[in-house]
Amino acid sequence: MTDASSAIQYACAHCGRTNRILRERLLDNPTCGGCKKKIFPNSPVTVTDSNWPQQIDACPIPVLVDFWAPWCAPCRTVAPLLEQIAAERAGRIKVAKLNVDENPQLAARFQVNAIPMLMIFRGPLLVDEIRGAVPKATIEAHLSRIS
């Protein structure tokens, strides 16, 4: 039997149901008890000013956040790379996208003055950032340092 400190509670990315996850099973990308899908998504999730605490601050695995805008051509070149990373690292890294035009509070909070801007978080802590459109190998190198 495991004690309560060896488990966390986290909401499913698909249905929102809160699931109890044993810490030793965290990186196995467990299945939701409600919808039976993987709790951590294999594609980028949309983050907003309002859902940031649940999606980023409370996330038990590292999160790569893409600060972007639809009119930004370099952002559109980075998007497919992030889709690939989300699929390849599902359950180990969560990839999120934040539209800076629609969410100015977070863009200001993190002093995003140029896009694309990629930031890596462990819970509420910013642990790394990548400025500009960079190759996938560069993003992977940054992720390898934190996971």
The CA-atom distances, in angstroms, between 111 and each of 66, 92, 130 are: 14, 27, 13
Whether residues 83 and 114 share a domain: the answer is yes
Known active-site residue 75: yes
Whether residues 86 and 29 share a domain: the answer is no
Q: Please state the pTM of the whole predicted model.
A: 0.89
What is the rounded CA–CA span in Å between residue 107 and residue 24?
34
Q: Which one of the listed residues 12, 32, 59, 72 is annotated catalytic?
A: 72
Whether residues 48 and 87 share a domain: the answer is yes
**Minimal CA–CA distance to 91: which of 6, 32, 7?**
32
Whether residues 49 and 16 share a domain: the answer is no
In sign, the C-alpha dihedral spanning 146, 119, 108, 132 is: positive
Q: What is the pLDDT of residues 54-91, one digit of tens each?
A: 899 999 999 999 999 999 999 999 999 999 999 999 88
- What residues does 95 pair with on adjacent strands? 64
Mean pLDDT across the chain:
91
Determine the structural domain holding residue 10 and report its residue range.
1-39
Query: Which ranges constitute the DSSP H helices of 1-128?
Result: 52, 73-88, 104-109
Known active-site residue 72: yes
